[in-house]
């Protein structure tokens, strides 16, 4: 390991089980010398797995519903106390759509569910940054990252209302990132990750199709959760100090592909000369 985060303090949202991208980020951040607080929705705590991660990484857990300003204020205050100062890095790794969960088609959304999913998956990022900004909780040259998916830019029909949530999330990164950069020298970016087998990922209808298609389309194949964690660590480290307001594609090249040989093969008329 490289001690890339030696002495740095952070808050990591969204580690649910060992498949979670946030789980891998926590393990890698620990290996790179960081100390951090783990947080998740109180309901996710009851599943208990996060305690194993906390033990393994010597971290404390503070429950917080990312849609509650009160919870977030408590989280940030307590984190600064536990960690003994301001925060250097924050990972927002939160996503949930009730329309997806209930199998509601995009063309027939339940708007109460749409509101809830938007609040959890997108607006929560604004709330988190609002609390960090107004409490002046971030150190200069700190780094904030949220995870996103390419359905924010391109149509993936079964990604449903999460596509709209991700578009809003990415926009928040730019809009809030401006003020955070200008006033606190803090950078804000989103990482747009390949389809990955996790609890949130597998909830999407036809997920294996997403996964296999992207694997065959990308020159490097799909990026794993661990590889996403490595990239996130790089974004938290001092090696990326001038990168901000970006949506960073971490997808093995998928987003710039038109067609790959292997997919083309499936469509070629074999009787052609
Ligand atoms: N898995 C993929 O294919 C994929 C691809 C690109 C981006 N992403 C994004 O990565 C992020 C992490 O997802 P994951 O794939 O690791 O799945 P995951 O299910 O392990 O993580 C989602 C997390 O969101 C948390 N969460 C839900 N509601 C919350 C609330 N109200 N307050 C606080 N936390 C809450 C869950 O408890 C869970 O820990 C999400 O933003 C997801 O959209 C995932």
Task: Judge contact between 170 and 247, C-beta under 8 A.
Answer: yes
User: How high is the pLDDT of residue 259?
Assistant: 97
Closest residue CA from atom 29 of ligand 1 = 41
Q: In what order do the strands lie in the sheet with 247-250?
A: 60-61, 35-39, 9-13, 87-92, 138-148, 187-193, 247-250
Kindly give the confidence (pLDDT) of every residue in the chain, 273 residues in length, as a single tens digit, with 9 standing for 90 and above.
899 999 999 999 999 999 999 999 999 999 999 999 999 999 888 777 999 999 999 999 999 999 999 999 999 999 999 999 999 999 999 999 999 999 999 999 999 999 999 999 999 999 999 999 999 999 999 999 999 999 999 999 899 999 999 999 999 999 999 999 999 999 999 999 999 998 877 777 788 888 999 999 999 999 999 999 999 999 999 999 999 999 999 999 999 999 999 999 989 988 876
Nearest to 134 by CA among 97, 165, 179, 201: 179
pLDDT at 273: 64
Contacts of 263 (CB under 8 A, 6+ apart): 213, 216, 217
Best mutation site among 11, 17, 18, 21 for ligand 1 pocket (most ligand atoms within 8 Å of CB): 21
21 lines ligand 1 (CB under 6 A): yes
- Where residue 87 falls (left for φ over 0; alpha for ψ -120 to 50; beta otherwise) is beta
Ligand 1 proximity of 160 Cβ (cutoff 6 Å): no
State residue 198's pLDDT score: 86
Q: What pLDDT, on a 0 to 100 scale, did the predictor assign at position 156?
A: 93
Q: How far apart are CA 48 and CA 54, in angstroms?
A: 10
Answer yes or no: is the C-beta of 79 below 6 A from any ligand 1 atom. no
Instruction: Identify the burial level of 53 via C-beta atoms within 10 angstroms of its C-beta, where 0-12 means exposed, 13-18 middle and 19 or more buried.
Output: buried
Pocket test of ligand 1: the residue of 11, 13, 14, 254 to mutate, having most ligand atoms within 8 Å of its CB, is: 14
For residue 262, report the distance from its CA to the centre of ligand 1, in Å. 31
Task: List, as one string, the DSSP characters of 35-93.
Answer: EEEEE--HHHHTT-HHHHHHHHHT-EE----TT-HHHHHHHHHHHHHHHTS-EEEEEE-
The Cα-based distances of 185 to 130, 173, 234 in angstroms read: 15, 14, 17
Q: Which long-range contacts (CB under 8 A, 24 or more apart) does 69-72 make?
A: 69/127, 69/130, 69/131, 72/127, 72/128, 72/131
pLDDT value, residue 45: 81
- How far does residue 153's CA lie from ligand 1's centre (Å)? 19
Residue whose CA is at the smallest distance from ligand 1 atom 11: 93
Cβ partners under 8 Å of residue 110, min gap 6? 98, 99, 102, 104
CA 13 – ligand 1 centroid, Å: 9
Q: Is 200 in the pocket of ligand 1 (CB under 6 A)?
A: yes
């Amino acid at each position: 390991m490289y001690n890339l985060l030696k002495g740095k303090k952070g808050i990591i949202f969204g580690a649910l089980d060992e498949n979670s991208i946030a789980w891998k980020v926590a393990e890698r951040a620990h290996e790179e010398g960081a100390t951090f607080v783990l947080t998740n929705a109180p309901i996710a705590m009851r599943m208990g797995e996060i305690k194993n991660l906390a033990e393994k990484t010597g971290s404390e857990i503070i429950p917080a519903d990312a849609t509650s300003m009160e919870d977030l204020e408590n989280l940030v205050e307590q984190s600064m106390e536990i960690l003994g100062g301001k925060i250097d890095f924050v990972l927002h790794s939160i996503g949930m759509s009730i329309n997806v969960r209930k199998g509601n088609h995009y063309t027939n959304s339940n708007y109460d569910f749409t509101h809830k999913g938007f609040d959890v998956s997108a607006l929560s990022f604004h709330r988190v940054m609002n609390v960090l900004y107004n409490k002046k909780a971030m150190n200069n040259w700190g780094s904030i990252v949220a995870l996103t998916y390419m359905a924010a830019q391109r149509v993936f029909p079964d990604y449903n209302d999460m596509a709209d949530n991700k578009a809003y999330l990415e926009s928040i990164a730019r809009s809030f990132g401006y003020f955070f950069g200008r006033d606190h020298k803090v950078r804000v970016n989103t990482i747009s990750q390949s389809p990955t087998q996790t609890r949130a990922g597998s909830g999407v209808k036809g997920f294996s199709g997403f996964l296999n298609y992207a694997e065959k389309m990308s020159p490097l194949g799909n990026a794993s959760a661990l590889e996403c964690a490595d990239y996130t660590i790089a974004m938290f480290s001092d090696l990326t100090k001038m990168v901000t307001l970006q949506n960073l594609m971490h997808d093995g090249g998928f987003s710039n592909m038109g067609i790959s040989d292997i997919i083309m093969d499936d469509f070629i008329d074999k009787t052609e000369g």
